[in-house]
Amino acid sequence: MSVATFRALKLYGMADVFDEAVEQGVRRKHTINEILADLCRVEEGGAIFAAY
């Protein structure tokens, strides 16, 4: 998926933080599921990153 796809799906929160979420997730050695959970949390209006 790309940022353009997120915007087309009206997932603006995910689109806005996608690059940061992936960079932070990789740096913190998160799984894909944890990164996806962070993106979903943002879309719901929550904090960008959960404390794992």
- pLDDT one-digit tens code per residue, 3-52: 999 999 999 989 999 999 899 999 999 999 999 998 988 888 876 665 55
- pLDDT at position 50 is 57
Dihedral sign of CA atoms 8, 1, 41, 17 in order: negative
Q: How far apart are CA 3 and CA 33, in angstroms?
A: 18
H-state helical runs in 1-52: 3-8, 12-27, 32-43
Q: How far apart are CA 39 and CA 9, in angstroms?
A: 14
Q: Cα 27 to chain center, whole Å?
A: 14
